[in-house]
Amino acid sequence: MISDSVRVRFAPSPTGFLHVGGLRTALFNFLFARNTGGRFILRIEDTDRARYVEGAVENLINTLHWAGLYYDEGPLVGGDFGPYVQSERIGIYKQHVDLLLEKGTAYRCFCTPDRLEAMRKEQEKNKLQPKYDRTCLRLSAKELADNISAGKPFVVRMKVPDDISVKFSDIIRGDVEFLSERVDDQVLLKSDGFPTYHLANVVDDHLMKISHVIRGEEWLSSTPKHVLLYKAFGWELPEFAHLPLLLNPDRSKLSKRQGDVAVEDYRDKGYLKEALVNFVALLGWNPGDEREIFSLAELEKEFSLEKVNKSGAVFNVEKLNWLNFQHLRRQTDGEVLSMLKAHLSKMSIDPSKFPDRYLLEVITAMRERVSFVKGFTEKSPYFFSPPEEYDPAVINKRWKPQSAEYLGELSEAFSKMSDPQKGDYEDALHRTAESLKVGNGELIHPLRLAVSGMGEGPGLFDIVSIIGKEETIRRINSAIERIK
């Protein structure tokens, strides 16, 4: 399906970092727009000034761009339906609230916070649903006029129709129905003149011609309020699609108390954007077959809302780690080289000390052994500096009283080689073992310990051929001196 009329939006609040659930919402909107030839819009919902965080908008945009999610309309980009920041649209909301007041589908409420709190407590005491009791809806015209002329602060509430069924269709969940008696007379305009989420959301979605509202399941209970607002204005409903909840492995709702939830946390830990986007795409969606590894371009081609599940999606970090390994393998040597240099700089290791040829040999040796770029320094630090210490467990198991003597013989054999290649080191070790009348293992294990400080890793002769003859001999001599 190709449609210029498909318009979707991601509308976050600038209250901090981008949650992985927010990334999932942004991604599904983005993929749907790209799959249908529609438009992906970014709108900043910043009317809750108490929760506004300075710099959050810039961080959010940078994070979306890092993930490859570039919007077609929004802040900095512009478009025909701006402004795309809600705090710049206050006059628009006031006009629409006045329209509802004229129609009688909204009313002013002068109740103080203390009175509302007392009312809520009384309702809870009597085990009643917490709802506004409509005291101000019963004000006479004179009482209303007197309150306004006295300058009493007020909010504007929506008048929810009595005893009706609020119905709407959801692409993921099918037909949904709520009874209006369960819907509170929500506040539309706060006493400071700022709109609530509900009013601004509906007005902006209509004026920006949003065709599909794709958001998390947590907004499902708010949708009846939005449907009633659309009807109060006499507007056509968009199509709704509520995405499944993100869950911890224990099936509880994903929260910061049980682990990282910010996209920036995963980026800073070294996860590839390709892996994180792939992982997030599979949180509630699947292609209908066994495939699990996708590029962003492949996701754009495959995505459809009809393949999104209703049930909650478990956030499995082990799956994310596996995908990171798979996507790291997909990267070219040149791409990994660039990432490795950046990582070395971050670790205060000067990458210019190592020729590209050297680093590419390290990448070849370690590519199948690391899931993260940081794994090159964590799992094989010996490629970047000589071992400062030796694994005690390996010393106890592999270093014998005669190991120093054997390595001395091996060092002598290595020193006689001219421009040795990988196979030359292996041949020299075999010859030395034969002359000493010992098995190859009597030399292999102490040599690995000497050059790496560890008991495992890539092929031993890969290591020595990469670090070179002179460095290998230096490390052998150092080990002979230091390991007792």
For the cut 70, the answer to whether the pLDDT of residue 1 exceeds it is no
> Mean pLDDT across the stretch 312-322?
94
Residues 163 and 294 in one domain: no
CATH number at residue 352: 1.10.8
> Is residue 447 in some structural domain?
yes
Is the residue at 386 inside a domain? Answer: no
pLDDT 10s digits, 348-377:
999 999 999 999 999 999 999 999 999 999
Kindly report the average pLDDT of the chain as a whole number. 95
Predicted confidence at residue 2, as pLDDT, reads 40
Give per-residue pLDDT as tens, 190-232. Answer: 999 999 999 999 999 999 999 999 999 999 999 999 999 999 9
- Give the CATH number of the domain where residue 283 resides: 3.40.50.620
Residue where a domain terminates, one of 208, 243, 278:
243
For the segment 88-140, what is each residue's pLDDT rounded down to a tens digit?
999 999 999 999 999 999 999 999 999 999 999 999 999 999 999 999 999 99
Same domain, 171 and 306: no
Residue 226 structural domain: 89-243
pLDDT digits (tens, 9 = 90+) for 282-309: 999 999 899 999 999 999 999 999 999 9
Q: Does 298 share its domain with 337?
A: no
- Overall number of domains in the chain: 4
Instruction: Identify any residues that bridge with 400 across adjacent strands, giving them in sequence order.
Output: none
pLDDT > 70: what percent of the chain?
98
Confidence at residue 260, expressed as pLDDT on a 0 to 100 scale: 64
**Does residue 23 sit within a domain?**
yes
Asked if the structure places residue 114 within a domain, the reply is yes
Q: What is the pLDDT of residue 448?
A: 98
Residues assigned a catalytic role? 256
